[in-house]
A and B are shown apart, each in its own frame.
Chain A
Amino acid sequence: MIVLLQLFLEGLAAGSLYALAAVGFALIYATTRTFHFAHGGTMLLTAYTFYQTVSVWQWPVAFAVLAALAVATLFGVGVDRFVYQPMRRTDASFLTIFAASFGVLIVVTNVVVLLFGNSFYSVDSTLSQGFLVGPLFVTYVNILAVVLAVVLIVALQLFIHRTRTGVVLRAMMDDPALVGVFGLGERRYGTIAFAIGSALIVPAAILTTYSSGLQPSMGAVITLLAIAGAIVGGIGNLWGAALGGMLLGIAENLGVWQLSSSWKPAITFGVLLLFLMVRPDGLLGARTRRS
């Protein structure tokens, strides 16, 4: 029983980070209709930047975080500006854009491998330590993960509902064409969506660096988790993406109770496949069945 609770706790922490990635992805998809498969690349670059600045160059953590934020935002916006926008101008199909995004992820992953090698890096810090709460062991990373996720996602929702920019973003989620009719630059707001969506992944990248270490394959893994979370929660719905990410994190970790941890990705995708077959609209999604 205690084991289950401990696993649930781990799942909650992991799920919080997946939720951040999923919400970022969902925001980008809902506003710009771009299947930003390279989202994991953002996480990869951010994490390795943080590692490089904190561990190798010995910068103070605050500056390292800023560097990570800068890299994430610049990369997200850069991919939009230099890859997706030119393609949208030529009316490329969804699959073409997806293939390009896929290509970007491959490029980023291999650049990281060429620069850092394939091996596994870890960053030591007091954050990876923890304390006992009754019979359960809680690390500071766990707490930070959940707190940051909740704060940021709620902040995002407030932003979308209360600020003018946020309202435009919501309008784009509903009806992109109409936004253009009102003279609001679709491209500019799309860039904003990419910036915010990419920035959301920064805490996930940093905390994962502390808790699980770095590996070049994490780019692809996080992309899939983000997308799976967004789909399970109901694509187009930001709360749904958060919920989906959280659910997958919990399911993945609870699964370890019975199955070895090499089954973790299989569990995630088992859940996703199940949802796709039984309820493709996701938990909170609008009707998206193809005609």
Chain B
Amino acid sequence: MTAYISNLMVLLGIAVILASSLNLMVGYAGIFSVAHAVFYGVGAYTAAKVALGATDSFLLATAAAMIVSGAVSFVLAVPVLRVREEYFVVASIGFQIVASTIFVSWNAVTGGMGGLAGIPPASLLGWQMGSSLDYMLLTWTCVALVLGFIALLVHSPFGRALKAFRDDETAAIALGKDPLVLRVAATTIAGALAAVAGSLYAFHVSFVNPESFTLDYSVLILAMVIIGGAGSLAGPVIGAVFITVFPALLSFLNIPTLYIGPAEQLIYGLAIVGLMVFWPGGLVSVWKLFTPGRRDAGTPWRRDNGRQG
């Protein structure tokens, strides 16, 4: 039982990191990306290569993963972020699809459909990981670090500039903030953080293959951010918990296995539509309804960024 729970906790922790890093792009920088699984995948493959080829040090593998993933994000971001947000969405979907095809076809590097297997357990400063419990500790330490980093970032001048853009682009530009630099930075950081999740995944599961890094998974991460509530720190965490735990709950209902997958997705879809129509702020904003506090200036989603269309 403990193995099952610690395994679930590892996957939950990975989901939290992915959703929170995507939130940096979607909720704070206002960039809608459906390609986040690509950076997760690049991170995982990089960490796997390092572990298989050089060292099983978690720190080194993760560092390498972050660098490579960050570089890929940067390369995508610079040309594409110049265009309108609507186009970026489509471009990101396209990028995800191309990346998936590359993961499957580039046999020499990614091992093709079979992927890379036999990844050795991670070691961290002399501590050799073995059980799921070890990985759970490692994962949630990383989660804490990542969330802490994001919190710091969001409250820094950089974070405030991002929020300024999200809330009123024209005013932000008038104040001299450069939109492209900020967006590229947010995208690069988000990509690097997703790589942390990738590295954790690679070591924990000890193999990586293209099936974990598809468009479906990107959509799932995005759903976590939207359902939980974009633009807040707690939102993606709530969304990640909801989406990771929900299937486990459904299994108690004895739905035939054939229907479980589509039924889950159907519910997420309905949740997204319902939330967007009634509570664009996500589950987090529903929670806020019950807790009296200072009045929020409104969710980032309710603004049209000063443009009337």
Listed in ascending order, the chain A residues whose CB lies under 8 Å from chain B are: 33, 35, 83, 86-87, 90-100, 102-107, 109-111, 113-114, 117, 176-177, 224, 227-228, 231, 262-263, 265-266, 268-270, 272-273, 276-277, 280, 288-291
Given contacts A91-B302, A103-B272, A110-B269, contact A277 B80 (CB under 8 A): yes
Say whether A107 contacts B266, CB under 8 Å.
Answer: yes
Contacts of A269 in B (CB 8 A): 93-95, 97-98
Q: For B276, give its contact among A97, A231, A270 (CB under 8 Å).
A: A97
CA distance A228 to B94 in the complex (A): 9
Q: Is the interface of B mostly helix, strand, loop or mixed?
A: helix
Specify the chain B residue showing the minimal Cβ separation from A268: B94
Say whether B263 contacts A110, CB under 8 Å.
Answer: yes
Q: For A273, give its contact among B32, B94, B102 (CB under 8 Å).
A: B94
Q: For A93, give its contact among B80, B258, B268, B303 (CB under 8 Å).
A: B303
Q: For A99, give its contact among B104, B261, B272 (CB under 8 Å).
A: B272
**Interface magnitude class on chain B:** 35 or more
CA distance A231 to B308 in the complex (A): 20
Given contacts A107-B270, A110-B269, A273-B80, contact A231 B277 (CB under 8 A): no
Specify the chain B residue showing the minimal Cβ separation from A115: B262
Contacts of B266 in A (CB 8 A): 106-107, 110-111, 114
Say whether B272 contacts A114, CB under 8 Å.
Answer: no
**One of B7-15, B81-89, B144-152, B284-292 at the interface:** B81-89
Given contacts A92-B301, A100-B272, contact A290 B83 (CB under 8 A): yes
Q: List 20 additional contacts besides A103-B271, A277-B79, A291-B169; criterion CB under 8 Å.
A: A87-B276, A94-B86, A95-B26, A95-B30, A95-B301, A99-B276, A103-B269, A106-B266, A107-B266, A107-B269, A110-B263, A114-B262, A176-B309, A262-B105, A268-B94, A270-B98, A273-B98, A288-B84, A290-B83, A291-B173
Specify the chain A residue showing the minimal Cβ separation from B264: A110
Contacts of B305 in A (CB 8 A): 93-94
CA distance A95 to B34 in the complex (A): 13
Least Cβ–Cβ distance between B36 and chain A, in angstroms: 14
Query: In chain B between 274 and 306, which residues have their CB closer than 8 angstroms to a CB of chain A?
Result: 276-277, 280, 300-305
Q: Is the interface of A mostly helix, strand, loop or mixed?
A: helix
CA distance A102 to B304 in the complex (A): 18
Least Cβ–Cβ distance between A277 and chain B, in angstroms: 4
Given contacts A94-B86, A106-B272, A110-B269, contact A224 B94 (CB under 8 A): yes
Say whether B301 contacts A227, CB under 8 Å.
Answer: no
The count of A-to-B residue pairs whose CB atoms sit within 8 angstroms is: 148
Say whether A98 contacts B32, CB under 8 Å.
Answer: yes
CA distance A110 to B262 in the complex (A): 5
Contacts of A94 in B (CB 8 A): 85-86, 304-305, 309
Is there a chain A Cβ closer than 8 Å to B5's Cβ? no
Query: In chain B between 238 and 267, which residues have their CB closer than 8 angstroms to a CB of chain A?
Result: 258-259, 261-263, 265-266
Say whether A276 contacts B98, CB under 8 Å.
Answer: no
CA distance A98 to B92 in the complex (A): 14
CA distance A92 to B281 in the complex (A): 11
CA distance A94 to B270 in the complex (A): 19
Given contacts A87-B277, A276-B91, contact A266 B97 (CB under 8 A): yes
Say whether B86 contacts A98, CB under 8 Å.
Answer: yes
CA distance A110 to B268 in the complex (A): 10
Contacts of B85 in A (CB 8 A): 94-95, 290
Query: In chain B between 10 and 31, which residues have their CB closer than 8 angstroms to a CB of chain A?
Result: 26, 30
Say whether A272 contacts B91, CB under 8 Å.
Answer: yes
Give me 22 A-to-B residue pairs in the complex whose CB atoms sit less than 8 angstroms apart, sorted by A's number.
A83-B273, A87-B276, A91-B302, A92-B280, A93-B280, A99-B32, A99-B226, A99-B301, A102-B219, A103-B270, A104-B269, A106-B266, A106-B268, A109-B265, A117-B258, A176-B309, A265-B97, A265-B101, A266-B102, A269-B93, A270-B94, A289-B84
Is there a chain A Cβ closer than 8 Å to B181's Cβ? no
Is there a chain A Cβ closer than 8 Å to B90's Cβ? yes
User: Which 4 residue pairs across A and B have the least CB separation, nearest first?
Assistant: A269-B94, A106-B269, A103-B272, A107-B269
Specify the chain B residue showing the minimal Cβ separation from A104: B273
Contacts of B102 in A (CB 8 A): 266
Say whether B90 contacts A107, CB under 8 Å.
Answer: no
Say whether B265 contacts A106, CB under 8 Å.
Answer: yes
Contacts of B268 in A (CB 8 A): 103, 106
Contacts of A231 in B (CB 8 A): 87, 90
